[in-house]
Amino acid sequence: MSNEANWSVGRVAQRCGIKVSTLHFYEQKGLIRSWRNQGNQRRYKPDVMRRISVIKAAQKLGVTLEEIKSALAQLPDNRTPTVDDWQALSAQWHAMLNQRIAKLEALRDSLDSCIGCGCLSLSRCPLYNPDDELAEKGPGPVLLDASPTDN
């Protein structure tokens, strides 16, 4: 496989199992890049498939595109992540993912009760908020939005 930028948009999209519009979106967001041939058609180097695979894997883990972009920006010369790079990237996301998991577990465990939204409409809320005391903590579902250690 040549390292030249000669892969068409359709070929990359088909090989990666994504839509052409997704490729354009990733490029617009600065996650991947293409070159133009003499006919002004986009062309990709074959290693863009690895970069797209990293993006897709990170998204499945719940990492946002902005977080992915920030992590990929740390790679020199916008290069494709190596195995070592992937290990470093995933290590960066490990703590963040653990925090998200803890929040999701707290949400799951409190779905049938009060989330501290300040509505004061539940007559039997285990976390009843008399006199809207939670308003001091901010707007919205403050108990739901708080980290597990804040509760």
What is the identity of the amino acid at 75? L
Alpha carbons 47 and 54: distance in angstroms, whole number: 11
Q: What is the pLDDT of residue 130?
A: 63
Alpha carbons 97 and 89: distance in angstroms, whole number: 12
Helix (H, G, I), strand (E, B) or coil at 78: helix
- Average pLDDT (54-77) is 89
Q: Where are the domains of the chain?
A: 9-111, 113-151
Domain 9-111 has CATH 1.10.1660.10: yes
Whether pLDDT at 56 is above 70: yes
Q: What is the pLDDT of residue 128?
A: 57
| Gyration radius of the chain's alpha carbons | 22
